[in-house]
Structure 1
């Protein structure tokens, strides 16, 4: 009886870790001397973070702080998609950061093709916003994970349901 092993390739992030990272960034912004009087706000929505501050220079500092806090909480910087900097009321600037979650059809096809080209005995099937990878050997699945980690994809990848 030959058993098969599988795992799912997904692009997701821990929402609670993101909430903690935004909270820590806000604390640092309110305590830092150079950013104390900028009235900067970070509004975390369901799929976006809206940054409002008083200049482009402080906006750059705020995005750097947000990135540092996210990395410390094991969140990939690839989940952030920075939008255009807009001018808000009263000489202030505003930037919307979209949170990327899930694999697009295009990226899922690319992952599936990479697996097909490299490994003859491994199958990759697209299932919604995830790719299920199946093989007869756990070693082949480990090799697929290494291949995907080395590939420079525009999304953060995680591996779930490994069995």
Structure 2
């Protein structure tokens, strides 16, 4: 029986490259001369630190642009509130791996409501979709790709015929 998995993962190597490129961009930008500003990566958390809040917003745009260049979907980034500490301001951006249970439940419900002849089941941090016909599976993939209300990047893995 044909099946595939719906996953949501971020390539950590490309994430590291995007952070490194963002740091290089800061060195060449005129508006960041003589400013203490940097990006740092710790596992899947990018810490953005600068001297002012408006600089944090500019740096977040720089990071998004470099993520797009490296093929990492910026929708996987979840930013926390801006924290003020002394002279510096910082913000953390988390890159989540896997699909959370509420989003997985929404995915399963959306697939079942579409009346496509496939079965969807939650398996840990991914959703497995099985069906009798390959065309039905491809229709389910198209449905998930076009689901804008979930606002999360999904990849398809482990396609079995």
Q: TM-score range by the shorter chain?
A: over 0.9
Deviating 4+ runs (over 6 angstroms): none
Distance 2:54 2:116 in 1: 51
> Contact between 1:100 and 1:155, CA under 8 Å: does it hold in 2?
no
Structure 1 gap ranges (5+):
none
1:47: how far off? 2.8
TM value normalised by structure 1: 0.93
Instruction: Give the corresponding residue for 2:117.
Output: 121
Mapping 1:131-150, distance limit 5 Å:
131-150=127-146
Count of residues in Structure 1 that have an aligned counterpart in Structure 2: 159
The match for 2:105 among 89, 105, 109 is 109
> Contact between 2:120 and 2:128, CA under 8 Å: does it hold in 1?
yes
Question: What are the Cα deviations for residues 106-131 of structure 1, in whole angstroms up to 9, with x where unaligned?
Answer: 11111111111113420001000100
> Contact between 2:116 and 2:139, CA under 8 Å: does it hold in 1?
no
Structure 2 gap ranges (5+):
none
Please tell me the root mean square deviation across aligned C-alpha atoms, in Å.
1.1
Instruction: Give the corresponding residue for 1:97.
Output: 93
1:35: how far off? 1.1
